[in-house]
Amino acid sequence: MKFVSVLFLTLSFSIVALATQPSIYGENGVVVAHDLEACEAGIEILKNGGNAVDAAVAVSYALAVTLPQAGNIGGGGFMIIHMADGQKFAIDYREMAPGKAHRDMFLDDSGKVVSQLSTRGGLAVGVPGTVAGLQLALDNYGSMTRKKVMKPAIKLAQKGFTIPFDLAYSFGWLNKAAEGFDETRRIFCRDGDIYKPGETFKQPDLAGTLKRIQKKGNAGFYEGPVAEALVKSISAKGGSITLEDLKNYTARVREPVVGTYRGLEVLSMPPPSSGGIALISMLNMMEPMIFDSVGWHSAQHIQMLAEVEKRAYADRSVWLGDSDFFEVPQEKLLSKAYAALRMVDYDSLSATPSDSIYPLNDRELAGIELGGHESEETTHFSVVDKWGNAVSVTTTLNWSFGSYVTVEGYGFLLNNEMDDFSSKPGAPNSFGLLGNEANAIAPKKRMLSSMTPTILARDGKVVLVVGAPGGSTIITTVLQVINNMVDFGMPVHDAVNVPRFHHQWRPDVIHYGPGAISPETMEVLRGMGYELTPRYGYGEVNAIARDKIFGGWIGAPDLKTASHGAAY
């Protein structure tokens, strides 16, 4: 492995110029999420004596009301918990394939993927996990009753909230996109009389559903009238989820994946998320690198991260899936020895072609055919409390507004997570069994995800809570926030809000956001053999960091989007 300490070229603007005062500081607790109503729901719980888990459940239900594009009760997600006493938990409430699902369900008779079959309508829907996951978190690690933590969300659904511009805009395009989905257009598009920014949006059907869950818990969602209506609505749109599928759904408490980076403990999500393993693998590859003499977003810096990202994403393509169905080589992928081996062919003076980087260094997998697409329409939020408990949550319907199927009479949208499986795994000239076999469709299997809710700690105390939406860019986004803070000394507010870039092995391209790479640096990178292309939208990081001066917490919403925070 060759490293050079020469600074190729720094950006034309100074990092110092980006520095701003943190807008959110809390001595006792902080919530950072997409919208202010959800943040305030969480703070209300914290002020009333609830812990971070209680507040996280309240925030999630509030987002199901105020952010119908991604917040949900008809989808799923992942939760990382770090308790003040050092206990660590990962809650997996990823959606599951229904019992009638099968490997080739989205292929035609000639073996080709049928357009939109896995993204729109009933067949695209995975068995929802959010309600079960939130209940599991509350039962095991919360301190408040379901009645209390759901109260803010029910109030928002009943009394309504002011529609912001971005939501009104989304409702506008949904009105056309959801043609044929009458219940969805009735509720969210007012049957074509589209909502405008500043109007009040009330959801009485959803309020009734939330009240039923509030009263009966899982039984109020996975059984009885809601379950029956859910199955009926899916069936009417070609789906196959049954009452038995719903009743048998279970959320899981899993062991978080744990790594270290420059003395910090890194806690993240295990499979069926690929995020935690890929993140720690990249950090392991980066740890021998010296950033002291490297300019931020210089050609050298961008190359260092791009080469690390390529290798991790190559491994992700084959070796990650639902560990209940596929033997993930987790120990190897997380080892620092493997990371060192992975970087043996790294050359700081030139690009390593993606065609010469093989999953798990296995040349026989060079011809792997990638499949599946992960939508960027997800949402992440972070919560800390006065005791030092911390929760990092990423949740989604997959695409914006999911499958477009709304449960008739009950006011909530259903996911299209079946699209996150590999609809056509494994090219014939690869290993056959492998390829994307790890993420092939199977009954009761959970689809692979890039969601990366993460918590960093030092000496057992939380120092950073972070995560993001953004599909395949989620993992590299979280990586760069950590790199910005740990290796470049940025305060959390700047680490979240500076521009970002991304490489995912294939295509062999560095994607970059507005202002991320100067024209001069682009020329240097092209001379090293890199292809570059602009890309708009790199998720919405919502982070919280321990304040080193006063000992409280600093909330860092992503100001490139409509993100918010609240504290007390």
Active-site residue identified among 352, 378, 394, 477:
378
For the chain, which residues make up each domain, given as ranges?
67-76+91-253+394-439
- CA pair distance 419, 116, nearest whole angstrom: 9
Report phi then psi at 422, rounded to 5: -85, 110
Contact between residue 386 and residue 341 where contact means Cβ atoms under 8 Å apart: no
Query: Residue 389 gets which letter from DSSP?
Result: -
What is the pLDDT, as a whole number, of residue 428? 29
Length of the chain: 568
What is the pLDDT, as a whole number, of residue 5? 35
Tell me the helix, strand and coil percentages in the chain, rounded to 5.
35, 15, 45
**Lateral strand order in the sheet of 390-396:** 252-254, 88-93, 76-82, 390-396, 378-384, 30-33, 564-567
378 given a catalytic annotation: yes
What is the pLDDT, as a whole number, of residue 430? 25
* Nearest residue to 264 via CA among 49, 532, 487, 447: 487
Q: Give, in order, the Cα–Cα distances in Å from 315 to each of 277, 329, 354, 505.
A: 10, 10, 12, 10
What is the pLDDT, as a whole number, of residue 10? 36
One digit per residue, pLDDT tens: the chain, 568 residues?
Answer: 444 333 333 333 334 344 455 579 999 999 999 999 999 999 999 999 999 999 999 999 999 999 999 999 999 999 999 999 999 999 999 999 999 999 999 999 999 889 999 999 999 999 999 999 999 999 999 999 999 999 999 999 999 999 999 999 999 999 999 999 999 999 999 999 999 999 999 999 999 999 999 999 999 999 999 999 999 999 999 999 999 999 999 999 999 999 999 999 999 999 999 999 999 999 999 999 999 999 999 999 999 999 999 999 999 888 888 999 989 999 999 999 999 999 999 999 999 999 999 887 777 665 554 444 455 579 999 999 999 999 999 999 999 999 999 999 999 999 999 999 888 754 322 222 233 678 899 999 999 999 999 999 999 999 999 999 998 899 999 999 999 999 999 999 999 999 999 999 989 999 999 999 999 999 999 999 999 999 987 889 999 999 999 999 999 999 988 899 999 9
- CA pair distance 287, 333, nearest whole angstrom: 15
- CA pair distance 67, 54, nearest whole angstrom: 20
Contact between residue 72 and residue 402 where contact means Cβ atoms under 8 Å apart: yes
Helix (H, G, I), strand (E, B) or coil at 511: strand
**CA within 13 Å, CB half, 518:** 17
The identity of residue 10, as a single letter, is: T
DSSP 253-266: EEPPEEEEETTEEE
Task: Estimate to the nearest angstrom the gap between the alpha carbon of 380 and the chain centroid.
Answer: 6
